[in-house]
Amino acid sequence: MTAPEAATTVTTGTTVEYIRYRIPEERSAEFLAAYTRAAVHLAASPHCVDYELARCEEDFEHFILRITWTSTEDHLQGFRKSDLFPAFLAEIRPYVAAIEEMRHYKATAVRGEGSAVPTPYAWAGGAEAFARLTEAFYAKVVEDDLLAPVFAGLAPEHAEHVALWFGEVFGGPKAYSLTQGGHSHMVAKHFGLGITEAQRRRWVNLVQDAADEAGLPTDAEFRSAFLAYVEWGTRLAVYFSGPDAVPPAEQPVPRWGWGAAPPYQADGDGDGDVDGD
């Protein structure tokens, strides 16, 4: 490859572009400064999902720029033909000759998460914690004037099934999918219920009270992730219970992570960092 504007095969779907540079040590500071300026134009593009410039630890002359684009076509036909590209290229043009590779890559099925950050499921205490949650919650529901009619004739095993759902959503085993039928099964349970906004809000309030009673973690990060899912899930429940609901296509149970704030974990040296520095 000789220049950022060189043609490549156009594909569809989110893609990751990798650009590998070899920059002499004496030029590295100006290279980083140039990309800091160029990144302003990347960030302004509606076709750019995210980007990162990394430097090799073993050989400081090697750099890799990773850019996630909404699609390869959006990169080539959108960003490169936009008013943003000339200003971007002007900043990095002095380093084009130092490019060793520039290609688009598509993700494969080989992917996953490690264990450096615990899942919300593990952080909460696993299956037992969510079983306590749903037991406490449905004890409140059957006594509640707004929600009791919605859950009239509740099956004895209902709380257990919802505990499996919560567990799978927050990163635990796929027990709900394996035993109950997955996402479509849960959605179907809401058809025709006509859940009101007042009932939804009561559900949200009671499940938070139940989380307190069940001893779920009270740290800000867990509770913000927990409440974010509860808000999202209950609003979908209202929609799917309404007269205009359209059943969704088959899809897996949603997996809910930490969002913007993973759990705080002291690293043992007293500075509060999670990476040991």
With vertex at residue 263, the alpha carbon angle to CA 52 and CA 233, rounded to the nearest 5 degrees, is 90
- The average confidence (pLDDT) of the chain is 90
In a domain, 158, yes or no: yes
Question: What CATH number is attached to the domain comprising 88?
Answer: 3.30.70.100
Residues within the annotated binding site?
185
Q: How far apart are CA 162 and CA 214, in angstroms?
A: 15
Residue 125: which residues within 8 A CB-CB, separation 6 or more? 215, 216, 217
Q: Are 238 and 197 within 8 A, CB to CB?
A: yes
CA pair distance 80, 78, nearest whole angstrom: 6
Q: Does 266 reside within a domain?
A: no
Is residue 155 in some structural domain? yes
* Binding site residue list for heme: 185
Residue 124 shares a structural domain with residue 90? no
Task: Let me know if residue 233 belongs to a domain.
Answer: yes
Statement: residue 74 has pLDDT above 60: yes
Q: Structurally, how many domains does the chain consist of?
A: 2
Q: Are residues 48 and 89 in the same domain?
A: yes
Q: Both 158 and 46 in a single domain?
A: no
Amino acid at 13: G
Quickly count: other Cβ atoms within 10 Å of residue 228's Cβ. 15
Structural domain of 82? 15-105
User: What is the C-alpha to C-alpha distance for residues 261 and 242, in angstroms, rounded to an integer?
Assistant: 33
181 and 124 share one domain: yes
- Would 131 be classed as within a structural domain? yes
Query: Do 248 and 217 contact (CB within 8 A), yes or no?
Result: no
| Digit-coded pLDDT (tens) for 86-139 | 999 999 999 999 999 999 999 998 988 888 999 999 999 999 999 999 999 999
Q: What is the percentage of the chain residues whose pLDDT exceeds 70?
A: 89
pLDDT for 79: 98
- Rounded to an integer, what distance in angstroms lies between the CA atom of residue 218 and that of residue 229? 16
pTM above 0.75, yes or no: no
State whether 171 and 101 are in the same domain: no
pLDDT in tens, 201-217: 999 999 999 999 999 99
Structure tokens given for 75: 């990169």
Whole-angstrom Cα Rg for the chain = 25
Please check whether residue 277 lies inside any domain of the structure: no
pLDDT, one tens digit per residue, over 152-181 is 888 889 999 999 999 999 999 999 999 998
Tell me how far apart the alpha carbons of residues 210 and 212 are, in angstroms, rounded to a whole number: 5
In a domain, 274, yes or no: no
Q: How many CA atoms lie within 13 A of 179 on its CB side?
A: 13
| Residue 135 shares a structural domain with residue 236 | yes
d(CA 176, CA 8): 44
Residue 98 and residue 183 in one domain = no
Whether residue 73 has pLDDT greater than 80: yes
Integer angstrom CA distances of residue 189 from 5, 46, 140, 150, 257: 52, 38, 20, 11, 24
Q: Which of 271, 220, 40, 237 minimizes the C-alpha distance to 151?
A: 237
pLDDT at residue 82, rounded to an integer: 98
1 is a domain residue: no
